[in-house]
Structure 1
Amino acid sequence: MNISNSPQPTESKDAFDWHFVTPLYIGSALNPVNTTFIATALVPIAAAINVPVGQTAVLVAALYMACIVAQPAAGKLSEAFGPRRVFLAGIFAVLAGGVLGGLGQDLVTLLVSRILIGVGTSTGYPSAMLLIRQRAESARLTEPPGGVLGGLVIAGMATAVIGLPIGGFLVAAWGWRSVFFINIPLALVALIMAFSWIPRDTQCRSEKTLRTLVRIDLAGIMVFSVTMIGLLVFLMSLPDPNWIVLGVTVLLGLAFVWWEGKVSQPFIDLRLLAANQPLILTYVRFALAMVCVYTVMYGVTQWLQIVKNISSADVGFIILPMSLVSILLTWLVSRRNLVRTPLIASAVACLIGSVGVFLVTTTTPIIWIVVITAVFGITMGMGASANQTTFYTQVTADQIGTASGLFRTFGYIGSITSSALIAIFFNPNVSDQNLHLIAAVMVVLSVVGLIIIIADRKIMMLVKA
């Protein structure tokens, strides 16, 4: 299937000017920062709307649920209706979510707001990847536009870490509503830039739109959505597993596989995916790395707050070097389109960092904890950049939207798995011993990730390391 909404030929030197990439970066950054903004606002939200603090955790889960489903769906819609349209629709959803949440007076309203923000921000990355791929092919580039893709990694991954201190500042300065209202100016800026600088998609005729809707496989999207939500609910039920939910989720997964093999235009072409083993390995590598990275971001930070009695604001600054390291390495790696060496380095760094977490105790100086967490910046920066460059070359232009969404979905699965690990081992209490048990799991996952890379002949035989 060919992309019918490709832009007009563009000169290579002008293909990725700042007018084109800036709105894409802003749109891609809205998703990760919103996942962490809310962390510092949960306690004041609970006090303001008079609910237990534990109930506000649903605001975190709601965005995860929305993102897991919406990322690949947004990619598919971008391929069908045009990436600019989907990008703009998503920004409008973020704007609505920001207004609704900022004015919300109860948990249900805030929940709807978070779902809107989750769905809206999920359109940024897959539509940006499709726009970049279209522009690269229009400019007849023979290699991935590494610098542009690196900017997406920085906007889409590294910014997640700075969301914690920014969220803490917003809540301290203007109250919990500011973590919702901040989306309004950000969305407006992204809208103005996108309307002005992103080239229009081709015109959609009504009859073509109808045929496209039929081809989109809405049933497949719905079954996939419910399956992913079931998986999320099961993982969040740990350490007291809800086996009924798991059983239903498995049945739904089997139904999804059956349906996708039956329809002519599947939401996710499982046959094609099964035949593309390198792409599957890329997704798995990324998910394993994200389990460890997010465990550091949320598990080690909880240990610092509870066991070492460090404030949330100070914890945010302790892990800030992790983000800075990842940004620097992303910029260096992506500009050269490197894959093999960064993948190996990210896996080794993940293993070293996990061993470091295993060795820390209550008496460990803060400077060493800063160093250990910064090591995971290598995993985040090099791993995310190299894996993104890898999957960019593993799919065709008409698959890049859905493939990008699935890439992010696997990242969220890694994040949710890390939350499950934390819930299992930090129950009933947070301690050095329980942190070491989590670290032991991280060591195992790091070894598995390293073996997957070394055993991948296509990766190891790359001429350009």
Structure 2
Amino acid sequence: MTHPASPPSQRSTVGADDTDTPDPRRWKALAVCLVAGFMTLLDVSIVNVALPSIEQGLSASSSDLQWVVSGYALTFGLVLVPAGRLGDATGRRRMFVAGVVVFGVASLLCGLATSSALLVAARLLQGIGGGLLNPQVSGLIQTLFRGSERARAFGMLGATIGISTAVGPIAGGVILSLLGADAGWRWIFFVNLPVAVAAVVLALRWIPAAEAREGARRRQDLDPVGVLLLGAGVLALLLPLVESGRGAASAAVPGWVAAVGAALLAVFVLWERRYTARGHTPLVDLRLFRLPGYASGAIVATVYFSGFTGIFFVLTIYLQQGLGYSALLAGLAVTPFAAGSAVMSAVGGRLVPRFGRSLVTWGLVLVVVGLVATDVVLSTVEGPRTGWYAALPLLLAGLGSGMVISPNITLTLADVPVERAGTAGGVLQTGQRIGTAAGIALVGTVFFAAAKDGGASGAALSLRVATGLVVLSLVASLADVWLRRRANGEVAA
């Protein structure tokens, strides 16, 4: 089989070096960005392990515990696009530092919380901090790196995502085992403080200040109406999904609120078009979706995140409730997926210039094969051996995932102008958050409905739903490859 050549636009941005002289501090700046991003991603999985301790220490209700987890994701997703736009307009280093400071202060408040209500409020603030800084990471990679180095940088970002997923449950289990339930859950938040302080100091030293001054010279047109419409639309769309993940007892937010959210997002699109036509700078430049690969890449990312995040949700609950694994053992059991994703993300970044979108497509094929094999294990193996038998299929799926996430980011942002990189990255991550919320709600509903006794049948059925979502992402990627080949005259019209 011959490997398809990358489209001209792809080769020009991903595989060729720019004539600009690269900043000599770019790799140190990337290290700061990745450490800060790692901190925000780690805080998702590490908290899950501590929920029983939080419940006991603060007399938290099940609703409080749900909001400790989902509230973080909700505010995270709400501020991504406005934060990306602010980074484009006022300087990414400035917004990055602001996000780290907010996240660090919120982490301190989480650790000091004396009630579940205070903890939930601090977690909401923590999500805002994470949403402020994360779009700046992809924006800074776009700004500081060119050609093959950019692909390598995005590969390291993908590896960071995989490692944070793997380390979270294990790190949380170690902290709780060393410090005990009472103090352990507080130190899960306190460990962020030295990382945040170091990230601020090193960001001010290594991330170029010139980028911020260039941003300051651009027109300060922040589109407040667009911000409100997008924020309200995303909130209305995500809130019922987040609440539905809590099961049948959660009926506080009716499903029609999501329809209102979709309508608000439609109004947002109309407003952005009108705002642009009047000569203003919109919050989201809709011309981004006409760039080669951006719309298709965003679709692949959104649908894929709806599938693969549900895998961890199902397996960690089943291993603990159905098989009696401890939180630490359950975390170790899903580590092969995360470890494979981390390793292949670093390698995949270097393969993007050669294989292009086909790399993502083959990665999705591996994920599907690995998940089908995992389904076979859950359906045929009983007892504590399940985790051992599932290790190899999960590793295969993880290797495939590493060929999807960071290469897809690289390809999706390849033709985005540098001055819109923060906004483009924010839109891409918002789609991922919506996909995550929808996927966990759907997969969780299937799991709890089918696994009345915590049995393997419910885990297998919900895993099939997650696999189906990954298959949809594969179809979208195949369609994109076919359209690119047709545009290049490689297939018959």
TM-score (norm 2): 0.83
Mark the CA change 1:169 to 1:250 in structure 2 (over 3 Å): closer, same or farther.
same
Q: Distance in 2 between matches of 1:59 and 1:460?
A: 46
Mark the CA change 1:450 to 1:426 in structure 2 (over 3 Å): closer, same or farther.
closer
Which SS does the other structure have where 2:323 is aligned?
Answer: coil
Among candidates 349, 356, 372, match of residue 366 of structure 2:
349
Report the alpha carbon displacement of residue 203 of structure 1 after superposing the two structures with TM.
6.8
Correspondence for 1:130 = 139
What amino acid sits opposite 1:399 in the alignment?
A: R
Q: Distance in 1 between matches of 2:130 and 2:439?
A: 22
- Mapping of 1:11-30 within 5 angstroms? 11-12=21-22, 14=24, 16-17=26-27, 19-30=28-39
Correspondence for 1:79 = 88
- Cα deviation 1:244-286 (Å, max 9, x = unaligned): 322332332233223222223221223x144347312111111
- Mapping of 1:327-346 within 5 angstroms? 327-338=342-353, 339-346=356-363
Count of matched residue pairs: 446
- Cα deviation 1:204-258 (Å, max 9, x = unaligned): 69x969x51xx11122122212221222221134355723322332332233223
Mark the CA change 1:247 to 1:202 in structure 2 (over 3 Å): closer, same or farther.
closer
Mark the CA change 1:153 to 1:123 in structure 2 (over 3 Å): closer, same or farther.
farther
Correspondence for 1:235 = 241
Q: Distance in 1 between matches of 2:387 and 2:259?
A: 44
Q: Is the Cα–Cα contact under 8 Å of residues 313 and 444 in structure 2 kept in the other structure?
A: no
Correspondence for 2:11 = none
- Cα deviation 1:181-223 (Å, max 9, x = unaligned): 1111110111111112111146769x969x51xx111221222
- Cα deviation 1:23-64 (Å, max 9, x = unaligned): 111122122111112101212112212222342110111111
Correspondence for 1:4 = none
Among candidates 49, 52, 56, match of residue 61 of structure 2:
52
Identity of aligned residues (%): 22
Q: Is the Cα–Cα contact under 8 Å of residues 310 and 443 in structure 2 kept in the other structure?
A: yes
Among candidates 269, 278, 288, match of residue 285 of structure 2:
269
For the aligned residue pairs, the C-alpha RMSD in angstroms reads 2.6
Q: Distance in 2 between matches of 1:45 and 1:13?
A: 45
Structure 1 residues without counterparts, runs of 5 or longer: 1-8
Q: Is the Cα–Cα contact under 8 Å of residues 98 and 133 in structure 2 kept in the other structure?
A: no
Q: Is the Cα–Cα contact under 8 Å of residues 10 and 135 in structure 1 kept in the other structure?
A: no
What amino acid sits opposite 2:313 in the alignment?
A: Y
- Mapping of 1:406-421 within 5 angstroms? 406-421=427-442
What amino acid sits opposite 1:191 in the alignment?
A: V
Report the alpha carbon displacement of residue 143 of structure 1 after superposing the two structures with TM.
4.4
Mark the CA change 1:95 to 1:274 in structure 2 (over 3 Å): closer, same or farther.
closer
Bigger shift: residues 441-450 or 284-293? 441-450
Correspondence for 2:270 = 258
Correspondence for 2:16 = none
Structure 2 residues without counterparts, runs of 5 or longer: 1-18, 489-493
- Mapping of 1:301-450 within 5 angstroms? 301-338=316-353, 339-359=356-376, 360-361=378-379, 363=382, 365-428=386-449, 429=452, 430-450=454-474
1:160 aligns with 2:165: yes
Q: Is the Cα–Cα contact under 8 Å of residues 288 and 416 in structure 2 kept in the other structure?
A: no
Mark the CA change 1:368 to 1:83 in structure 2 (over 3 Å): closer, same or farther.
same
Q: Distance in 1 between matches of 2:217 and 2:346?
A: 41
Which SS does the other structure have where 1:176 is aligned?
Answer: helix
Mark the CA change 1:222 to 1:313 in structure 2 (over 3 Å): closer, same or farther.
same
Q: Is the Cα–Cα contact under 8 Å of residues 29 and 156 in structure 1 kept in the other structure?
A: yes
Report the alpha carbon displacement of residue 12 of structure 1 after superposing the two structures with TM.
4.2
Correspondence for 1:6 = none
TM-score (norm 1): 0.88
